[in-house]
Structure 1
Amino acid sequence: MLMIIIMELKINVTQIIKCYLLKYFFKIFFLFLLKCSFFVSMVEAKIIYDFSKVENLDGWYVVDDGVMGGRSKGKLKFENGDTGVFSGKISLENYGGFSSIRYYAGKLNVKKNKYITVILSGDDKYYQLRIRSSRNDRHVYTKKFFAKDGWQEIRIPLDSMEPYFRGQRLRMSNFDKKYISEIGFLIGNKVRENFELKIRSIMLEEDYEL
């Protein structure tokens, strides 16, 4: 009889310990999820430009090959209250062949950022993302990307952007600056073509791991 009572006590104690450990596990897991959620919220993307939150295109301007005597024509228009549409026609006349748009972003500190992310819809053509560290710089840092038809997210590492001046790769390191003052897009594929690139937003993102 005594042995039976002892066995029952052991079973009850074991069950109590299991319940306690299970409750403790779920409590720790719940706190972990809260911590992860808080951490993610703390590293949200830094918005450079969001077309859905503006009413005009102040700060943007078009630069075509007309500055060199070319005949290409590009334009930027506001569409549906949430999209910037960069479109036009590329001509190869007079040694031209490019069109671009630029946005003066002030002085963005990118010391903690690793990527530029763009939400856009393309036309199955190649474009370039271009940035300047200072408006006084004559060179730009650029990265070519393919913009397929349909909305997509283009994520470009800042340190993959190469220095160029008038189409020539410079003997300098890739982008490693603390600031961005200008950002833009260029099309120049050395062919006559019409183009249309739709842009929703441009963001800076950190590199993080949970």
Structure 2
Amino acid sequence: MDGTPLFDFNDKVSTEDWRVVNDGVMGGLSQGIFSINSEGHGFFRGNVSLENYGGFSSVRYRFETKDTSKFSQIQIRLKGDGKPYQFRVKADDRQRYSYIANIKTSGDWEILSIEFSEMYPAFRGRLLDLPNYSGIEMTEIAFLIGNKKEENFALEIDYIELL
């Protein structure tokens, strides 16, 4: 890691402040689980179901609002399953929408760099007519899978940092 950590996973950290939100909030049946695996990485896994108008699973980490104005990007070291995910940010804890970056995982460990200015605003799958993420403040980060199909998923996360 070269930047300022937002979260550095290891076998001594707690996932207590990470919260899984599945489509059950809308009646869906998707199931996601988040834990620390035996290698000390954050491990988000489960199954996305389209039954009952479902179709997504997410894991979110909310923290005290940080001044992120000195940074321009987020760097994440992760290992996915070859599926697309969304990485999401909220600038304010009262904000209902998120700023989104679409990421495609390769199946191998990789380091992804996401420019703040490329993260677009959306709410419940709808693009909003607002500017992209300014990067001034941050209060929540999240990973979401919702590819409009039934699928199992697995995403390991080593660290998330600001650059």
Question: What TM-score does the superposition give when structure 1 sets the normalisation length?
Answer: 0.75
Q: Match for 2:74: what amino acid?
A: I
Tell me which of 126, 130, 141 is aligned to 2:99: 141
Give me the whole-angstrom Cα distance separating, in 2, the residues matched to 1:182 and 1:115. 15
Matched, 1:171 2:129: yes
Give me the whole-angstrom Cα distance separating, in 1, the residues matched to 2:136 and 2:18. 22
Tell me which of 97, 118, 123 is aligned to 1:160: 118
Give me the whole-angstrom Cα distance separating, in 2, the residues matched to 1:87 and 1:144. 18
Whose Rg is larger?
Answer: 1
Matched, 1:65 2:1: no
Q: Which residue of 1 aligns with 2:154?
A: 196
Query: What is the CA-CA distance between 1:145 and the residue it aligns to?
Result: 0.6
Question: What TM-score does the superposition give when structure 2 sets the normalisation length?
Answer: 0.96
1:129-168 deviation digits (Å, cap 9, x = unpaired) = 0010011101110010101111100110011000001110
Query: What is the CA-CA distance between 1:79 and the residue it aligns to?
Result: 1.0
Q: Secondary structure at the match of 1:52?
A: coil
CA contact 1:55–1:81 (8 Å) conserved in 2: no
Q: Which residue of 2 aligns with 1:39?
A: none
Unaligned 5+ segments in structure 2 are none
Greater helix percent: which structure? 1
Unaligned 5+ segments in structure 1 are 1-43, 206-210
Give me the whole-angstrom Cα distance separating, in 2, the residues matched to 1:138 and 1:193. 27
Compute the RMSD of aligned alpha carbons: 1.1
Q: How many residues align?
A: 162
Q: Secondary structure at the match of 2:114?
A: strand
Q: Match for 1:88: what amino acid?
A: G
Query: What is the CA-CA distance between 1:105 and the residue it aligns to?
Result: 2.3
Q: Which residue of 2 aligns with 1:151?
A: 109
The percentage of counterpart residues that share the same residue type is: 39
Tell me which of 76, 79, 86 is aligned to 2:37: 79
Q: Match for 1:89: what amino acid?
A: N
Query: What is the CA-CA distance between 1:80 and the residue it aligns to?
Result: 2.3
Query: What is the CA-CA distance between 1:58 and the residue it aligns to?
Result: 2.1
Q: Secondary structure at the match of 2:28?
A: coil
Q: Secondary structure at the match of 2:10?
A: helix
Matched, 1:117 2:78: no
Greater strand percent: which structure? 2
CA contact 2:116–2:135 (8 Å) conserved in 1: no
Return structure 1 stretches of 4+ with deviation > 4 angstroms.
none
CA contact 1:51–1:81 (8 Å) conserved in 2: no
